[in-house]
Structure 1
Amino acid sequence: MHLTAFTDYSLRVLLYLGNQPENKLSSIKEIAAIYNLSTNHLSKIVFELGKLELIETNRGRNGGIKLKKPANEINIGWVIQQTEENLELVECFNKTNNACILTAACRLKHVLNEALVAYLDVLSSYTLEDLLLNKEELQSIFHLEANKN
């Protein structure tokens, strides 16, 4: 299973915001600099995370972004399922465009589906809070990266 860059960076944004003090607003520019991403690309990610009600966005001069929910309420498996456009591991998972001649008799698709379900089950057993148990270590990395820019 390969996660898209969109999902990867969505999780990174959540990790960054989850590591900030509760009422601190962060900027897209600040996060883009930390992760060396374009602000344009990050804006799209932040927009989607806002639509998913994971982050709160405040526009204007004193605006910024922060987590909308507590970290223990943000389920990693759910985030991945919302940000990945396609969890079809093989062609036969797509009922519309499946042209595989083995589909009717193939047992591989069942094994792959079982693996996908297990993968998502494991991810769903974690929250953002679980990924922030090493806040001090993450904070020092974010601080080092911010000072590079």
Structure 2
Amino acid sequence: MTRKLPSTDRSLPIALLRAREEVMGPIRAMLTNVGITEQQWRVLRVLDEGGAMEPTRIAEVACLLLPSLTRILQKLEEHGLIARRRDQTDGRKQIIEISAAGSALIAENLEASIALNEAVRERLGAERYESLLDLLNELSSGRAAD
């Protein structure tokens, strides 16, 4: 018996990509008006939510490769949206924190960001939205289903 790949409309990788584009399109439009990329936005969100942290942790939480993060941090620093400092206990490490300007940028776009998120939530319904998030988080954490 010859096995076949599932059709593209039943392919998880393709479905995830399609869903990502559906969700990210309006967010990209919002960010274009702000003048930052979606990767820069993710870094700012991570720092705003989690506080100051090392670049490796930022890369992990923001789903970025470390070499890409290095370039992103340079741009954010050039725009005054983040600040770097040496770790007080280990001078070889650097700590990145969001600046007042970075926090202001998040605050200025908070309502638009929430509205975009709520539009997706309304489209799916609250229960299905939460279930989707649970399933995606389960998939990305490598946990097995209960």
TM-score bin, normalised by smaller chain: 0.3 to 0.5
With normalisation by structure 2, the TM-score equals 0.44
| RCO comparison, higher one (Cα < 8 Å, 6+) | 1
Between Structure 1 and Structure 2, the one with more helix by share is: 2
